[in-house]
Structure 1
Amino acid sequence: MRELLDAVADGDVSPAEAEARLNGYATTEAGRFDAAREERTGVPEAVLADGKTTAEVADLAATAVETTGRALCTRVDDPTAETVTTALAEEFPDSNVEYDERARTLVAHAPAFDPPALDADVGVVAAGTADAAAAGEAATTLTEMGARVTRVSDVGVAGLHRTIDALADLRAMDVLVVAAGREGALPTVLAGLVDVPIIGLPVASGYGHGGAGEAALAGMLQSCAPVTVVNVDAGYAAGVQAGLVARSVDSARTDGRR
């Protein structure tokens, strides 16, 4: 501890970084950032922008970069992305910031950040174009967890030949995240055709009764083929679940090479 205190006194370690090392979290005016989550669970902490002011998101994102070398923000709108990008550029001039407007994700890496790399392939499948936002959130999460991500888009069951055409690529994956709205049939169909775990991601696309994702959620939960299901539009959760499978695959392959 004395070494850490000396490093703070010398300006080599910030108070927030020291708090994160000691407590596992860093306290800001916007809340507490769980800096030890990835070390503890293998899952990178994410800053949910919904319900927060742009200043609060920027504060937490900066704390994330300061304490872990990376910030992963979800449900980010354009004004928030602009505020966060400007704030990070001022505080960490050499950091790299990427904003995906469709997926509503923002990722920032400090120059010295060493991203994880898993020997595992994850397919992120979107039934239709309307499902791309939720699928994109999952893909960003998986990329940050170190998986190799392959995006497969617009292969919904309304044109089953599109699904069949993509089967060879999907069967080569270690795990699939399948995003679908309307009745949510695609994960069930694929679960009967491939021999890899499937994470069903119901999407609030559609209209009328069940059009806010309820029908897709119910359909996936009632699947007669084995599908693991997350909540409606929960791209981050789906990405995390698939990422944990990818970590296990990577671990098994690493052990097999020893």
Structure 2
Amino acid sequence: MKREEIENILQQFKSSQIDLKEALERLKHFPYEEMGFAKIDSQRHLRKGFPEVIFCPGKTLEQISKITKRIKEIKGKIIATRATSEIYQTIKEIIPEVTYFKEAKIVAVKEEEKKVSSKYILVVSGGTADIPVAEEAAVIAELMGNKVERLYDVGVAGLHRLLDNSKKLLAANVLIVVAGMEGALPSVIGGLVDKPIIAVPTSIGYGASFKGLAPLLTMLNSCAPGLAVVNIDNGFGAGYMASLINQLNEVKE
């Protein structure tokens, strides 16, 4: 879309030839920002309600630096996942106000408390070793404007730990359940609650867990209804989906 086209749309809106809804519809498919090695989807927030995220693995510090500078120039939101402390320092030199969520490995600007939904998403982990993936899900959900509660290390090896927190489980609007090893925890919780569950298999476990394949298959084969599964270690995807569900329910009410 050329500058003249954008100006024409804005002029039509200004003169009431088109309404706000139509103007936004035309503008939401802006072209991406071409950088040669990357194409920044600068209008994703307009289309999706959440900005494009920088997935850091596989990118050089120079590439991440250039992408960050461009996002800053177009006044976009910076969110980087699977970021190391070195990547955090690189981004911080460009955008000093960023925060490093160390356990989640996320770099983002922590905005003022502004919750879109009054209901909460509960993030549950089977073990302590699953917390990094659980935190990725929790932080993404919080950045999307949700109230998030955490319940960690309540795996099936000690079910009393889970049952002691039954009130928190039942009160949640959406649950993200993160587990490695055999991955049974989402099925157990699925038999207790009447809310949607997003199961996240992790790569935590001994040899026969096959780096997350065993819990992934367990979760996919769950007999508990109301349970959906994301990819291995995909905390980001779980947090994003939980937010969509949580806020959709809020809008309906």
Q: Which of the five TM-score ranges fits, normalised by the shorter chain?
A: 0.7 to 0.9
SS in 2 for 1:193: coil
Offset, 1:126: 1.1
Structure 1's unaligned 5+ residue stretches are 6-19, 90-95, 254-258
- Is 1:52–2:53 an aligned residue pair? no
Cα distance change of structure 1 residues 246 and 208 upon mapping to structure 2, 3 Å threshold: same
Aligned residue runs from structure 1 range 179-258, under 5 A:
179-226=178-225, 227-253=227-253
The Cα of 1:36 is off from its aligned counterpart by 1.9
Native 8 Å contact 1:44 1:144 kept in 2: no
Q: Deviations over 1:162-215 (max 9, x none)?
A: 110111112111101110000111111001001110000000001111240011
- Residue type of the alignment partner of 2:194: D
- Stretch moving more, 228-237 or 66-75: 66-75
Aligned position for 2:105: 104
The residue that corresponds to 2:13 in the other structure is none
1:115 Cα deviation from its structure 2 partner: 6.1
Aligned length: 231
* Aligned equivalents of 1:108, 1:72: Cα separation in 2: 7
1:66, CA displacement in angstroms? 3.8
Structural mapping, 1:127-138, within 5 Å? 127-138=126-137
- The normalised TM-score by structure 2 is 0.83
Q: CA deviation at 1:58?
A: 2.4
Aligned partners of 1:24 and 1:147: how far apart in 2? 30
Corresponding residue for 2:158?
159
Over the residues paired in the alignment, what is the CA RMSD in angstroms? Answer: 2.4
1:61, 1:73 within 8 Å by CA — same for their partners in 2?
Answer: no
Residue of 40, 52, 70 corresponding to 2:77: 70
How far the C-alpha of 1:42 sits from its partner, in A, is 3.1
Percent of matched pairs sharing the same residue? 37
Return the letter of the residue paired with 1:148: K
Alignment check: 8 A CA contact 2:116 2:247 kept:
no
**TM-score, normalization: structure 1?**
0.82
Partners in 1 of 2:113 and 2:47 — Cα distance?
18
Q: Output the CA distance in 1 between the equivalents of 2:75 and 2:128.
A: 34
CA–CA distance in structure 2, aligned partners of residues 37 and 116 of structure 1:
21
Gaps of 5+ in 2: 8-26
Match runs of 1:19-34 below 5 Å = 23-34=30-41
Contact kept? 1:120, 1:249, Cα under 8 Å: no
